[in-house]
Amino acid sequence: MNTDISTSTNNQEIKKLIKNYPDFPKKGIIYKDILPVLMNPEAFKSLIERMASTNICKESDAIIGIDARGFLFASGIALKLDKPIIVARKPGKLPGQLYTKAYKLEYGKSSLSIQKDALINFKRLAIIDDLLATGGTVESVSDILSSEKKQITGLCVVIELSHLKGREKLPFKVSSQIKY
């Protein structure tokens, strides 16, 4: 079920924009910084268009962006498809009644929350993030949605770190634009 849906000839150009930071945020991690992609309007627009063109996004009722860089891509996709956006935020960032789920990262632990009211009117949701590594962050959102009987149309990410096998943990479609 986990298949790539979208690739493009300019992936190599986008890949050249992504900066590597060794040993950040801790020793042994090579941080993939997508901020230079956002400073290139052509590359950013291309990614938004390709991600929005996936069935994962087109078949959803709403788009969920994961804190924080996932928000940037989710916002563009939601605008492009004229769909509502919901946010999954880190601790202490959302008011009201929340669904919260803890998760492990390849370099630590955290949790994500979604406002309960945000999910009421939607059944099919696409999850958007900048990067898929171990899958912990996405599993957290997936667990919240599944516990509320929501259908996940899939996950769209800009970067997938294939060697960490996060895709294998997910029971829905995954579309990644760039793989390492």
> Which tokens is 23 given?
């040993």
- The predicted pLDDT at position 125 comes to 98
Average confidence (pLDDT) over 137-145: 97
Instruction: Report the predicted TM-score, pTM, of the whole model to 2 decimal places.
Output: 0.92
* Domain ranges for the chain: 11-179
> Which tokens is 11 given?
């992936």
pLDDT tens for each residue of 46-88: 999 999 999 999 999 999 999 999 999 999 999 999 999 999 9
- The predicted pLDDT at position 107 comes to 65
Place of tokens 């989710």: 74
Cα–Cα distance, 87 to 85 (Å, whole number): 7
Ramachandran region of residue 117, left (φ > 0), alpha (ψ -120 to 50) or beta? alpha
pLDDT above 90 (res 104)? no
pLDDT above 50 (res 25)? yes
The rounded percent of the chain whose pLDDT value lies above 70 is 93
Average confidence (pLDDT) over 104-113: 82
User: Looking at domain 11-179, which CATH architecture does it have?
Assistant: 3-Layer(aba) Sandwich (3.40)
Tell me how long the chain is.
Answer: 180
